[in-house]
Structure formats: structure tokens, C-alpha cells
Amino acid sequence: MAAARQRTALLPRILALALCAASVLGIVRLAQQSAPVAADSAAAGGDCLARKRAEIDREKAAGRLTAEQAMIRRQKLKADCG
């Protein structure tokens, strides 16, 4: 009698554990599928601006751009990165 009671108490626990594991796997797969989309949208937005600003700053520090040229290029960034 006690063995049957232990088996019935164990079954709901096993089912709950399996459901939890399936949920975690589903969330991981969903995150993996949406990661490239998020990376593409980030590259189209803020990353492009940051990369171009850093490039302008490097050129200015190297002496290839004057302060005025750097300012003009920064103003054109929104058009460049879309």
C-alpha cells in the first residue's frame, strides 16, 4: 500500500519536471531564433552610428580631419546609417 502511494506521489512530480524542462527548451529555442533578428536591427540603428562616430574620432585624432570636417561628417551620419 505504501509503495503504491509513493508511485502516485512521484508521478505528478515527474510530470511537472518534464513540463518545466520542455518550457525551458522552448524559451531557449525561441531566443536562438530571434537573436539574429535583434542583431540585424541593432546593426541598422545605434551600432552603425557608434561605429561611424568612432571612425570619425580616430581620423580626427590621427590628424586626417579638422574639427570642422569632423563636425560636418557627424551631421551626415543619420543619412548614412538610415
- 82 with 57, same domain: the answer is yes
- 6 with 40, same domain: the answer is yes
Higher pLDDT, 64 or 3: 64
Q: What is the pTM of this model?
A: 0.43
Domain span at 57: 45-82
Between the alpha carbon of residue 61 and those of residues 24, 34, 40, 52, the distances in Å are: 49, 38, 30, 14
- 10 with 35, same domain: the answer is yes
- If one counts the domains in the chain, the total is 2
Higher pLDDT, 44 or 9: 9
Residue-wise pLDDT for 15-64, tens only, equals 999 999 999 888 888 877 776 655 455 555 568 888 888 999 999 999 99
**Average pLDDT score over residue span 50-79:** 89
- Looking at residue 81, what is its pLDDT? 81
Which among 49, 40, 42 is positioned nearest to 75, based on CA atoms? Answer: 49
- Spatial distance between the Cα atoms of 82 and 47, rounded to a whole number of angstroms: 12
